[in-house]
Amino acid sequence: MKKTCILSIKKISIYTILLGIIAIISHYAYELSGEIFIVGLFNPINESVWEHLKFMFFPLLLLWIIIYMIKSDNCEKSANTWIVSAAVSLVIAPLLVLLLYYGCKGALGVESVIYDILLVFICYFIALCIASHIFIYSDPKSWVAVVSVVIVIVIFISFIAFSFNPPQLPIFYSSNS
């Protein structure tokens, strides 16, 4: 018998902590690897906001793939529901970081490493809660899943393309440079 596979607050909290720890490790992965090119494609290579969005996207993408591989056979939810839920969280998490980082820094003048770290956890948690709501209460059509996949692929390619050849925009450069 298949289950509903609800993402409970407890599971979301565990995933948030796990993702936050992975993000912290990811922050230093490129430097610790000896600046290996392939590692830089999926992990921040500098202190720019854009590069930090990588650890909001890639660990979350990996988490969704792992959860789907483990649970999809025993879950009554369609592949469309999985895809759309994952895609929403993969868009929401980086967007929340942008909004909250620039909102607090620009509007309130808040600059704190502790805030930046907490922001990662908060944004993962909110993104997973929204994705969980979609997962529980929606049954998206195939075209919505296809559009979701296209959006995720565009974001994925953007991270890869702009890693070593960024446009001349402030989001792509660290405040230290």
pLDDT digits (tens, 9 = 90+) for 53-70: 999 999 999 999 998 988
> For position 3, what pLDDT does the model report?
66
What is the Cα–Cα distance from 90 to 113, expressed in whole angstroms? 23
Q: What angle do CA 156, 145, 93 make, to 5 degrees?
A: 45
**49-71 helix and 9-32 helix, angle to the nearest 10 degrees:** 130
> For position 78, what pLDDT does the model report?
84
Q: Where are the domains of the chain?
A: 9-172
What is the Cα–Cα distance from 101 to 49, expressed in whole angstroms? 9
> For position 177, what pLDDT does the model report?
45
List Cα–Cα distances, 43 to 28, 111, 142, in angstroms. Answer: 8, 22, 32
Strand partners of residue 3: 75
Question: Residue 126 — φ and ψ, nearest 5°?
Answer: -65, -45
What string of H, E and C letters represents the secondary structure of 34-83? CCCHHHHHHCCCCCCHHHHHHHHHHHHHHHHHHHHHHHHHHECCCHHHHH
| Region of poorest pLDDT, from 13-17, 55-59, 69-73, 119-123 | 69-73
The pTM (predicted TM-score) of the whole model is: 0.88
What is the Cα–Cα distance from 43 to 38, expressed in whole angstroms? 9
Is 100:162 a contact under the CB 8 Å cutoff?
no
What is the Cα–Cα distance from 170 to 99, expressed in whole angstroms? 15
pLDDT digits (tens, 9 = 90+) for 68-108: 988 878 888 888 888 999 999 999 999 999 899 888 877 88
